[in-house]
């Protein structure tokens, strides 16, 4: 990893390893949209370029770095570090939480006002057969999701629950 990093053309390119575990991993994976709870750390790489003509070299360096690291990845990607080239982004970002998130999205944003290239939206035929589909049942059974605009969790609700 270090040897490949040293081949970068731009001195501001960055590798970041964020430690996870502890309280992050104490909360059950199926109780939130944050599916990255059974890992020890998160890994991402940022690349930079000054001139547009340098972009292809930077992107190529990043793609090769990700290929080098692929054996150590678990198939999921933290959604706050998106990559436009991920065609299977729904599974990679949200895993089995996707159908529940799609349910909430349809309920509160039925006209898709909050949208971008990889936003939460239904699968389409153009996604192709290689895109994994979440087959889980949404966690919400009724048409009404109760919310309180001023709700704050109690200390008890913030206390990590033991894993089953």
59-77 residue pLDDT tens: 999 999 999 999 999 989 9
At 21, the pLDDT band (50, 70, 90 cuts) reads confident
| CA pair distance 63, 66, nearest whole angstrom | 5
Per-residue pLDDT tens over the stretch 29-57: 888 888 998 888 899 999 999 999 999 99
3-state secondary structure string across 126-154: HHCCCCCCCCCCCCCCCCCCCCCCCCCCC
* CB of 76 closer than 8 Å to CB of 93: yes
pLDDT digits (tens, 9 = 90+) for 122-162: 887 777 777 777 777 777 665 454 455 555 656 666 566 66
């Amino acid at each position: 990893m270090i040897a490949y990093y040293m081949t970068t053309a731009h001195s501001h390119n960055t590798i970041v390893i964020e430690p996870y575990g502890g309280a992050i991993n104490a909360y059950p994976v199926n109780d939130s949209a944050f599916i990255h709870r059974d890992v020890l750390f998160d890994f991402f790489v940022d690349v930079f370029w000054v001139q547009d003509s340098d972009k292809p070299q930077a992107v190529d360096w990043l793609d090769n770095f990700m290929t080098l690291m692929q054996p150590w990845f678990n198939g999921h990607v933290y959604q706050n570090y998106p990559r436009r080239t991920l065609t299977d982004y729904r599974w990679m970002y949200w895993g089995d939480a996707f159908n529940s998130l799609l349910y909430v999205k349809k309920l509160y944003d039925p006209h898709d006002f909050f949208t971008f290239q990889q936003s939460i939206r239904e699968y389409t035929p153009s996604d192709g057969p290689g895109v994994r589909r979440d087959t889980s049942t949404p966690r919400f059974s009724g048409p009404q999701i109760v919310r309180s605009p001023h709700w704050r969790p109690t200390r008890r609700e913030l206390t990590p629950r033991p894993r089953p």
